[in-house]
Amino acid sequence: MVEPRTLVSPNIKTISVMAALVRRVFVAHLAGASKSSFLQHGGFGLRWGHHRLFSKGFPGLQARVRPLPLLIATGGGYVGYNQYGQYRDRQLEKLGIEVPPRIANEVQVTIYKSIPTRLLSRAWGRLNQVDLPNWLRKPIFRLYIWTFGVNMKEAAVEDLQHYRNLGEFFRRKLKPQVRPVCDSHCVISPADGKILHFGRVKNCEVEQVKGVTYSLETFLGPRTWAESLTANRNEDDPGTFQDALVTKEGNELFHCVVYLAPGDYHCFHSPTDWRVAHRRHFPGSLMSVNPGVARWIKELFCHNERVVLSGEWTHGFFSLTAVGATNVGSIRIYFDKELRTNNPRYNKGTYNDFSYVTNNNQEGVSMRKGEHLGEFNLGSTIVLLFEAPRDFTFNLQAGQKIRFGEPLGTM
């Protein structure tokens, strides 16, 4: 007869060993230890010493923190959540349900502005000026053409070997006949692009996209440049900033925003017959200005670097603003050789004025409708702000594609 003690002892010993092993694995799992940290001595040993799992006293866990995987996981989760929100909004819009814009908070804007986009844009600009070897030009340019849908049949020079670097390709000219300038309308599109928003300016606020606005005064800056223009009809009591811009009875202030995508023609032209009296350069951030970001960041155009050209046309005040963006630190105005954008000597939050009206030139710079005015390096945004009679009507739809030379509206 076998004694009960002989049967019980091995089972208790086996259970004790298994429980110890399970406890060690469980503790190591809670501590977040990696495989190299605890899979020793047959896969179940714990590494003690500098990275030991227990502290003195009550057993607390000292998990090794790995910031890079944590950052990737957090960022990936946020991007995924944001993309899902945008997808849901698009589905609701397809059903005809109006979705309010998702506006970034101050923390998100601050984080975005902390990215050294000005430095990156300067580096990108220098890279664009590096001449490519002949054998590499066609593959690089064809990849760009395929990615952004560039129509090279409209280019003045279709041979890709002709363009020595990316900068020359970005600034390619068009065949004259592919962009006829409309003669029957007073205001035309200054560039190829997409219409983000248009309409009357109300309450000193301008819409960059539907539902997302920016301050007219913040965008243009103080009215010190008005000394070069015709005196306002209400100088004694101009009212609001918006009222002060309207120089003629029966006129109102209008605006139109044209977004230039990377695949678009990058030059811009004079939208009407007018005289340019003043230039104001705002050094600033170079955040993306694509429609998605424009719907997300309020006053995006006020944060970014921009060049405001202001003057007069036959109906009063007229201005064209070239807004910079990521990789578009360079804004060139052909008749202004003094202008230098995205220059490290300029501090963000300031502005620099230059008057084209002198003792020898009281008219400023006269521009004809359709005349070459300037260019971007890549894609960006043009904002038109002008006064016109109340019966001025835009013949546009938000989101539509438009080409340089096509009419914006009628009177």
269 given a catalytic annotation: yes
Residues 6+ apart with CB under 8 A from 179: 403, 404, 405
Distance CA 34, CA 53 (A): 12
Distance CA 310, CA 342 (A): 21
Distance CA 146, CA 111 (A): 33
Backbone angles phi, psi at 144, to 5 degrees: -65, -45
Check if the beta carbon of residue 201 is closer than 8 Å to that of residue 385. Answer: yes
Distance CA 140, CA 143 (A): 5
380 given a catalytic annotation: yes
Let me know if 13 is exposed, middle or buried by CB neighbors in 10 A (0-12, 13-18, 19+): exposed
114 given a catalytic annotation: no
Check if the beta carbon of residue 316 is closer than 8 Å to that of residue 246. Answer: yes
Which of 192, 228, 264, 319 does the annotation list as catalytic?
192
Distance CA 32, CA 27 (A): 9
Check if the beta carbon of residue 334 is closer than 8 Å to that of residue 373. Answer: yes
Let me know if 153 is exposed, middle or buried by CB neighbors in 10 A (0-12, 13-18, 19+): exposed
Distance CA 249, CA 269 (A): 29
Which of 285, 319, 330, 380 does the annotation list as catalytic?
380
Q: Which two tokens stand for residue 272?
A: 């009407």
Maximal CA-CA distance, the chain: 127
Task: Give the start-end residues of each E strand in 288-397.
Answer: 306-313, 316-323, 331-333, 352-355, 365-367, 372-376, 381-389, 393-394
Check if the beta carbon of residue 332 is closer than 8 Å to that of residue 272. Answer: no
Let me know if 205 is exposed, middle or buried by CB neighbors in 10 A (0-12, 13-18, 19+): middle
Which of 266, 269, 281, 315 does the annotation list as catalytic?
269
Q: Which residues are identified as catalytic? A: 192, 269, 380
